[in-house]
Amino acid sequence: MDETLNSRSINNIPSGRLPFSTKLAYASGGGGEALPFNLFAIYFIFVLTDVIGFSPMWAGIISSVGLVWDAVAQPLIGYLSDRNTSKMGRRRSFMAVGFVPLSVCIFLLFLPNGLTGTLQVAYYFIIVLALYFFETMYVIPYYSLCPELTTDYAERNNIRTFSMWINYGLLIVGTSGPMYILSRTLDGGGTEKQAWGNTGAVFGALTILVCGICLYTTRGKGVVITKDELANTNRPNFFKTIAQLFKLKVYRMIIFMTISWSINVSLFLGMVTFLLTYVTKAGPGLQSLWWILYSVFAMITLPIVAKLAGKYGKKEVLTVILILLILNAVIFSFIGMDSYIAAVVWTFMSACGISTFFTYCISIAFEVAEIHEFNQGERAEGQLLSMVNFSRKCGAAIGTFIIGAWLTYINYDANLAEQTLETQRGLVQGLTLVPIIFFGLALLFLFLNPLKKAAYELLLAALIKKRAGETVSADGFEKIIK
């Protein structure tokens, strides 16, 4: 099949609603991030400390280095995909190269090995670096494909919501699945290391499946540019484009908010297994149920939040969610989470906040593509979204480092079947008191962001006229283009 069939040019991105089949085709590919990200973020530090035998500090360092490396690679991949002239489309060709090696790395990351000492440390460093590089090669072009499907404000929200619905369906697999595999492996006489090796194999195979489905069903979607078109485009270099983006207050506030919120997402995902294991005393079965409830809570939240965001705007919805998250953290820092029921109640608001963040931290940046085009006359979705994801990974790296440092500070000992009461209280505080700081910062940066739905819609109308060669003014949206 001709891969350029029905492809869209940069100047002809549709502005209306999309058919259900297109949304489904795009959304199916979100598993290429959801499966490896959740498996790594939730279980990797736990596996390194409690199964492999690393100290909490070393486990945090290994995870943080991988995230930092990933953050560095993302802007480069975004820039290269913006300039890609493949007939498959400037985004899909990168996705095609990245998803199989990504799946192999997932398998190798949890595969039992006989290495010890320096060789073992080096092994995990190398695999983590490779995993994040190939994830970036897939994920950044995947995100950048979405704003090439439509410029409609509400429809972009709907696409992200639809994608997150599928992601949270996969999250049930990604979070409760490892506990199920662990339980079945142990019941069958296997070891914990064998159980996690089986988990890596299953998740590697699932990643190949969902990414392959997305690539197959999105044939002919997205922008295709020729070498001649690229040569005739007055496109700034990598660093000049980044500088232009960061001159925008809208973009800077999105970046700072994303870093702050990502730190808390990392703390939640990385420490909750410790909480369930040592504070609520939940076994694999109850932990599996907890993650199912978490995913269900998130899926219930998504359509409600999407409807509110479409009516009132993303900024307004994110503001309310952040205030509720701060209140949730304050309440449970006082009452604690000694019981499984308390942890489930706390989880409801946490799931609401994280699902909202993953849906809108990316989609709120989609509008920057049109702001940048209005100012500079060119689009750079790959670079601008890669920098947002860069900020996510920077926040995650900081968060994982904090986890290692915090576990050390509260005297966590992986060799103990039951942690001291002081350590248990420290685990609760790490998931309540510490996040209040970063939720507060995220709320501040969101408040300072001038981007609103009404202003964006005025800008989009002016941009359409500007593309047609008409003279336009910035009345009504001047604050968001500075």
Q: Is 480 part of a structural domain of the chain?
A: no
The count of other CB atoms within 10 Å of the CB of residue 191 is 12
Is pLDDT of 1 > 60? Answer: no
- The pLDDT of 405-428, averaged and rounded, is 90
What is the secondary structure of 223-253 as a DSSP string? B---HHHHHTS----HHHHHHHHHT-HHHHH
List pLDDT tens digits, range 279-293. Answer: 999 887 888 888 888
Res 3: pLDDT: 38
- The pLDDT of 99-109, averaged and rounded, is 92
Q: Is 10 part of a structural domain of the chain?
A: no
Res 123: pLDDT: 92
Q: Is 1 part of a structural domain of the chain?
A: no
3-class DSSP assignment, residue 18: coil
Provide the mean pLDDT of the chain.
Answer: 84
Distance (Å, whole) CA 276 – CA 292: 14
Q: Give Cα separations from 132 to 13, 122, 141, 203, 395 (angstroms).
A: 30, 16, 14, 15, 15
DSSP character at residue 280: S
**How would residue 47 be classed by pLDDT, with cut points 50, 70 and 90?**
confident
Least confident residue range of 16-20, 142-146, 191-195, 368-372: 16-20
The percent helix, strand, coil of the chain (3-state, each to 5) is: 80, 0, 20
3-class DSSP assignment, residue 8: strand
At which residue do the structure tokens 């085009």 appear?
Answer: 373
- The pLDDT of 93-121, averaged and rounded, is 89
- The pLDDT of 189-205, averaged and rounded, is 90
Is pLDDT of 104 > 90? Answer: yes
Q: Is 119 exposed, middle or buried (0-12, 13-18, 19+ CB in 10 A)?
A: exposed
Distance (Å, whole) CA 121 – CA 53: 11
- The dihedral built from the CA positions of residue 322, 327, 329 and 332, taken in this order, carries a sign that is negative
Angle, CA 130 vertex, CA 396 and CA 236 arms, to 5°: 75
Res 232: pLDDT: 67
Distance (Å, whole) CA 29 – CA 139: 9
List pLDDT tens digits, range 389-404. Answer: 788 878 888 888 898 8
Q: Are 161 and 359 in contact (CB under 8 A)?
A: yes
List pLDDT tens digits, range 111-136. Answer: 888 888 889 889 999 999 999 899 88
Is pLDDT of 7 > 70? Answer: no
Q: Are 359 and 317 in contact (CB under 8 A)?
A: no
Res 279: pLDDT: 92
**How would residue 105 be classed by pLDDT, with cut points 50, 70 and 90?**
very high
3-class DSSP assignment, residue 119: helix
Q: Give Cα separations from 63 to 89, 97, 171, 175 (angstroms).
A: 33, 24, 20, 18
Res 235: pLDDT: 59
Residue 63 gets the label, from left (phi > 0), alpha (psi -120 to 50) or beta, of: alpha
pLDDT above 90 as % of the chain: 23
Distance (Å, whole) CA 287 – CA 187: 16
List pLDDT tens digits, range 150-159. Answer: 777 677 777 7
Q: Could you tell me how far CA 133 lies from the centroid of its own chain?
A: 15
Distance (Å, whole) CA 426 – CA 407: 8
Q: Are 204 and 104 in contact (CB under 8 A)?
A: yes
Q: Is 61 part of a structural domain of the chain?
A: yes
The count of other CB atoms within 10 Å of the CB of residue 433 is 15
- The pLDDT of 83-97, averaged and rounded, is 83
Q: Is 53 part of a structural domain of the chain?
A: yes
Res 229: pLDDT: 66
Q: Report the domain count for the chain.
A: 1
Q: Is 9 part of a structural domain of the chain?
A: no
- The pLDDT of 190-197, averaged and rounded, is 88
What is the secondary structure of 441-455 as a DSSP string? HHHHHHHH----HHH
Cross-strand partners of 223? 8
Res 5: pLDDT: 34
**How would residue 231 be classed by pLDDT, with cut points 50, 70 and 90?**
low
pLDDT above 70 as % of the chain: 94
Q: Are 431 and 275 in contact (CB under 8 A)?
A: yes
- The pLDDT of 235-264, averaged and rounded, is 87
- Domain of 160 in residue numbering reads as 19-221+238-451
Task: Pick the closest to residue 448 from 245, 255, 250, 314 (CA basis).
Answer: 250
Is pLDDT of 8 > 90? Answer: no
Distance (Å, whole) CA 108 – CA 127: 7
**How would residue 6 be classed by pLDDT, with cut points 50, 70 and 90?**
very low
Q: Is 266 part of a structural domain of the chain?
A: yes
Is pLDDT of 301 > 60? Answer: yes
Res 225: pLDDT: 74
Is pLDDT of 81 > 50? Answer: yes
- The pLDDT of 444-450, averaged and rounded, is 93
Read off the tokens for 31. 């598993």
- The pLDDT of 245-267, averaged and rounded, is 91
- The pLDDT of 366-373, averaged and rounded, is 85
Distance (Å, whole) CA 209 – CA 103: 10
CATH number at residue 25: 1.20.1250.20
**How would residue 176 be classed by pLDDT, with cut points 50, 70 and 90?**
confident
Q: Is 332 part of a structural domain of the chain?
A: yes
